Amino acid sequence: MAPVSQHVRESLQEIFGDRVRTDRVERKMYSFDIGTMPRLVKPVVPAGLAGAAVRPQSEAEVVALLELASRLSVAVVPRGWATSGYGGVLPRAGAVVADMSGMNRILALDHANMTVTVEPSAIWQDIDRELAKDGLTLRLYPSSTPSSGAAGWLAQGGAGFGSFEYGTFKENVVSARVVLPGGQVREFAGSDLERYVADAEGITGVITQLTFRIRALEPEVHHLFAFPDARSLAMMLADVSRAELPLWSVTFLNPASVSLKKQLPHRHGHPYEEAHPHVEPQLPESYLAVVAYPESRMPEIDERLEEIVRIHGGIDLGPEAAEHEWEMRFSPIRLKRIGPSLVPTEVVVPLESLADVLAEIDARIRQPFILEGMHAKGDRIVLLGFIPHDERLFAFNLAFALSLSVIRIAKQHGGSAYSTGLYFRREAQSVLGPERV
Ligand SMILES: Cc1cc2nc3c(=O)[nH]c(=O)nc-3n(C[C@H](O)[C@H](O)[C@H](O)COP(=O)(O)OP(=O)(O)OC[C@H]3O[C@@H](n4cnc5c(N)ncnc54)[C@H](O)[C@@H]3O)c2cc1C
């Protein structure tokens, strides 16, 4: 695929100066995200080589870009930090990729209303560091916090640490400024924001600013519990929900995940790991739940939580193991070192069918299946699964199909795919509902 025409390139240069790229190598680099698309899948995904990449630094530049694109009939694809992995940032052949990573500032803190306003690609970790200086923190964040941005999470949709109390990110966004495809700027809030901007993968416009709710920073308690099987874990989660324990975050992993982490090879020669040799605590290979809440809530939670865990055969693995798992919460894909590739799949299921879904995944996916789960407000459970594999092998194509099997299992139990992106665009009905599609 050739780059954009000379006329388009020159028009882009008038807006962006030297922040326009049309050489083949850069266009190729902007035609990937963090995932690996198997060779057999490529022909059925409408993605190709970008025609150009530009790097806006202001809303005015985004407006100029979209006016130009509309006038010259050029497709534009917004790209944050490209960590979403399901093809949301992949351009169709010849499209202009708008690399929004240059717009990453934290703009304003509103103490009275407990909100923060940021540019679209402000990175979660940077935002949280800034908030901490004022005794504040994020209500929720994804496990990609060190490397992903705010608008990407709104546009891709999703749950993270803190979703037990605060739900999905979109439920915490007050407003977003969006440049629409013709170049008009509109501020979205409330149900319009949830309907047209959230989960839309950037197809309804380019977000240039967003304001969302934050909370007070408090010392936090972390627990790590082991359960004999998936059913006991699911029953514990149901009881926690029924008892309305004011927890902040509840996540879990499966035995395969614990077992594979123990086999992780040491990264010889890696300067950080050589200086800080990493020792995994001896965790049991069972279902593990990680629970977090502010220390101030201990009197309401501690005894009741302990009792619920005990009733369902759970064991508290102690503070040292809990702190270790908590510290490792931003490294879910370190298991890639075993792969060397990972086939990802992600679904949302109702809590009441969690045990059945996990049993069926175990029975039908006859490969090591690393599973991380998040319990979100409203008893929705997000299941993120990885199958370690090797993208150089033909069998990688077949393993990729298993991600669709997991989505099928979820749907049979009242669930859906997690998000769309080009890979799962056919799941848009189940993710967004027919009206929003
Ligand atoms: C290790 C790891 C852990 C993760 N953990 C979680 C998790 O816990 N929960 C979760 O939900 N997800 C998770 N993700 C997925 C991903 O990190 C999040 O969705 C993230 O917030 C995306 O941010 P990004 O800046 O990388 O967006 P990108 O991947 O760049 O973009 C995502 C989508 O948003 C659109 N977009 C980006 N910027 C804009 C903009 N300015 N305007 C309009 N549309 C835009 C893109 O077109 C694309 O469709 C994880 C990913 C990895 C690799």
Which residue, 186, 216, 246, sits at the end of a domain? 216
Same domain, yes or no: 86 and 12: yes
What was the pLDDT predicted at 281? Answer: 67
- What are the start-end ranges of the E strands in 8-80? 20-21, 52-54, 76-79
Binding site membership of 333 for ligand 1 (Cβ less than 6 Å) = yes
Same domain, yes or no: 173 and 260: no
Q: Is residue 288 part of a domain?
A: yes
Q: Is residue 32 part of a domain?
A: yes
Q: Is residue 250 part of a domain?
A: yes
Atom of ligand 1 nearest to the CA of 201: 49
- Do 171 and 198 meet the contact criterion of CB atoms below 8 Å apart? no
Q: Is residue 301 part of a domain?
A: yes
> How many structural domains are present in the chain?
3
Atom of ligand 1 nearest to the CA of 169: 11
- Do 125 and 82 meet the contact criterion of CB atoms below 8 Å apart? no
Which residue, 83, 102, 121, sits at the end of a domain? 102
Residues of the chain with pLDDT under 70: 265-281
Residue 323 is part of a domain; what is its CATH number?
Answer: 3.40.462.40
Binding site membership of 149 for ligand 1 (Cβ less than 6 Å) = yes
Same domain, yes or no: 262 and 380: yes
What's the gap in Å between 366 CA and the centre of ligand 1? Answer: 29
Residues paired with residue 182 on neighbouring β-strands, in sequence order: none
Binding site membership of 76 for ligand 1 (Cβ less than 6 Å) = no
What was the pLDDT predicted at 400? Answer: 85
- What are the start-end ranges of the E strands in 180-306? 185-189, 206-216, 220-227, 249-253, 287-294
Query: Could you read off the pLDDT of 123-137 as tens digits, one per residue?
Result: 999 999 999 999 999
Pocket test for ligand 1, best of 156, 163, 209 (most atoms within 8 A of CB): 156
Integer Cα distance of 177 and 185 in angstroms: 7
In this structure, which amino acid lies at residue 62? V
Same domain, yes or no: 156 and 35: no
Same domain, yes or no: 240 and 329: yes
| Domain residue limits at 20 | 6-102
What was the pLDDT predicted at 273? Answer: 60
What phi and psi, each to the nearest 5 degrees, are found at residue 267?
A: -85, 80
Sheet with 76-79: strands ordered across = 20-21, 52-54, 96-99, 76-79
Same domain, yes or no: 94 and 110: no
Residue 138 is part of a domain; what is its CATH number?
Answer: 3.30.465.10
> Which two tokens mark 309?
């865990």
Integer Cα distance of 205 and 161 in angstroms: 27
- Collapsing DSSP to helix, strand or coil, 248 comes out as coil
Eight-class DSSP state of 194: I
N-term to C-term CA, the chain: 30
- Do 214 and 116 meet the contact criterion of CB atoms below 8 Å apart? yes
What was the pLDDT predicted at 274? Answer: 60
Parallel/antiparallel/unpaired status of strands 220-227 and 206-216: unpaired
Residue 72 is part of a domain; what is its CATH number?
Answer: 3.30.43.10
Residues paired with residue 137 on neighbouring β-strands, in sequence order: 215
Integer Cα distance of 430 and 365 in angstroms: 22
Integer Cα distance of 84 and 33 in angstroms: 7
Q: Is residue 1 part of a domain?
A: no
- Do 136 and 216 meet the contact criterion of CB atoms below 8 Å apart? yes
Q: What is the chain's alpha carbon radius of gyration, rounded to the nearest angstrom?
A: 22
Binding site membership of 168 for ligand 1 (Cβ less than 6 Å) = no
Binding site membership of 83 for ligand 1 (Cβ less than 6 Å) = yes
- Collapsing DSSP to helix, strand or coil, 260 comes out as helix
Q: Is residue 27 part of a domain?
A: yes
Same domain, yes or no: 301 and 426: yes
Same domain, yes or no: 226 and 316: yes
Same domain, yes or no: 246 and 181: no
Integer Cα distance of 174 and 187 in angstroms: 10
Q: Is residue 406 part of a domain?
A: yes
Same domain, yes or no: 338 and 356: yes
Identify the burial level of 109 via C-beta atoms within 10 angstroms of its C-beta, where 0-12 means exposed, 13-18 middle and 19 or more buried.
middle
- Collapsing DSSP to helix, strand or coil, 250 comes out as strand
Same domain, yes or no: 273 and 305: yes
Which residue, 51, 83, 102, sits at the end of a domain? 102
Q: Is residue 311 part of a domain?
A: yes
Query: Could you read off the pLDDT of 7-57 as tens digits, one per residue?
Result: 999 999 999 999 999 999 999 999 998 888 888 888 888 899 999 999 999
Same domain, yes or no: 398 and 425: yes
Binding site membership of 332 for ligand 1 (Cβ less than 6 Å) = yes
